[in-house]
Amino acid sequence: MVVRATNWVGDVVMSLPALKELRRLFPNTHLAVVARKWVADLYRNQEFVDEVIVLPDGRSSLFLAPRLQSFDCAVLFQNAFEAALLVRLARIPQRMGYAVQGRGWLLTHKVKPRKELQGKHQTFYYLDLLYRLGLSPRDYLSDKIEADIRLRVTTGARQELEYLLQETALDPERPLVALHPGAAYGPAKRWPAERFARLADLLQQKAKACVVLVGSEDELPLAHRIRSRMETPSVLLHGKTSLPGLLALFERCRLVITNDSGPMHLAAAVGTSQIALFGSTDETATGPLNPRARVIAKHPPCSPCFRRDCPFDMECFRAISVDEVWEAAQEILEGR
């Protein structure tokens, strides 16, 4: 069986319960995942996946068709037309997925998303696919289940983190706090940089924490903007960690504070204490599935708008003050 994985970090984590359910339903089946290069490492060395097939950057997935011809079943978590065309060109006998984007004729087993999915967490979108296709007997929208999004932190990832932290000279006696101020979707998902800067200063001045800023290399300008507004020194780890290394870092942290982003879901996947700040998006649909998470979200009349850019002066984020986030962080760091 081959699964076409989703393309973004947050979606990977939210689809994990469905992937793990496939593993449970078919324990003796060789289970492979086709994934883009930038998320493939999240599947490596996880007990629920037997093989990871990587799609290189900047190349169509269709060139993989010959390699997939040995599989007898394909389940598509990704909704793209090309995902269905790939498994059709590979002549996989059973091709399963949502009939969206005009690709239904390429699938042998297809369903439409249920209206009942509205207002549910995104994890149910993938789990319900398994039920509607007849792969699973469980109606996840009716049954009470606990979605398992956990990812195992590997020994190699912990070693990678150790080498990185040795270069930073962080004080191991002080609590480690990671801030991820970015969000790839757009500015409407980013709490203001000057507020992250003030929060970082409070964490280091009052909580005696060591603050590290994390993110992709593309987010370095944002990190520099934050650090230029800070009164205390901070460590930038942008572009210096792999995804498994970032998991190891979050596992080590006493607290992780993020916007609604892929790293928010990675922090949830290792069960660390976290604060998630929501602006243009809906915490009901994509919030962190972590009992140790606190979500801070305000809901002006325009929220959630799901825009990349806000035409209304970021009212939803302006309503989240530094003091409110600082007080929540204090409670977590003090164990209250």
Digit-by-digit pLDDT tens for the chain (336 residues) are 999 999 999 999 999 999 999 999 999 999 999 999 999 999 999 999 999 999 977 778 899 999 999 999 999 999 999 999 999 999 999 999 999 999 999 999 999 999 999 889 999 999 999 999 999 998 888 766 678 999 999 999 999 999 998 888 788 889 999 999 988 877 878 899 999 999 999 999 999 999 999 999 999 999 999 999 999 998 999 989 999 999 999 999 999 999 999 999 999 999 999 999 998 888 999 999 999 999 999 888 777 867 778 777 778 888 899 999 999 999 999 987
AA identity, residue 165: L
pLDDT of residue 119: 86
Query: 12-15: long-range contacts at Cβ-Cβ below 8 A with a sequence spacing of 24 or more?
Result: 12/39, 12/42, 12/43, 12/265, 13/42, 13/149, 13/151, 13/262, 13/265, 13/266, 13/268, 13/269, 14/121, 14/122, 14/123, 14/125, 14/126, 14/149, 14/265, 14/286, 14/289, 15/77, 15/123, 15/126
Return all residues near 21 (Cβ < 8 A) that are at least 6 apart.
127, 130, 136, 138
Going along the chain from its start, the domains and CATH numbers come out as 2-132 (3.40.50.2000), 156-333 (3.40.50.2000)
pLDDT of residue 144: 66
N-to-C CA span, the chain? 46
DSSP 169: T
pLDDT of residue 312: 77
AA identity, residue 182: G
Written as six digits, the tokens of 188 are 């409407």
pLDDT of residue 206: 96
Return all residues near 309 (Cβ < 8 A) that are at least 6 apart.
186, 187, 188
Q: Which DSSP helix (H) or strand (E) runs through 168?
A: helix 155-168
Residue 78 φ/ψ, nearest 5 degrees: -80, 140
Cα–Cα distance, 96 to 214 (Å, whole number):
37
Partners of 97 in the beta sheet? 110
pLDDT of residue 78: 96
pLDDT of residue 281: 85
pLDDT of residue 293: 95
Local structure of 330: helix, strand or coil = helix
Of 123, 48, 116, 47, give the one whose Cα is nearest residue 288: 123
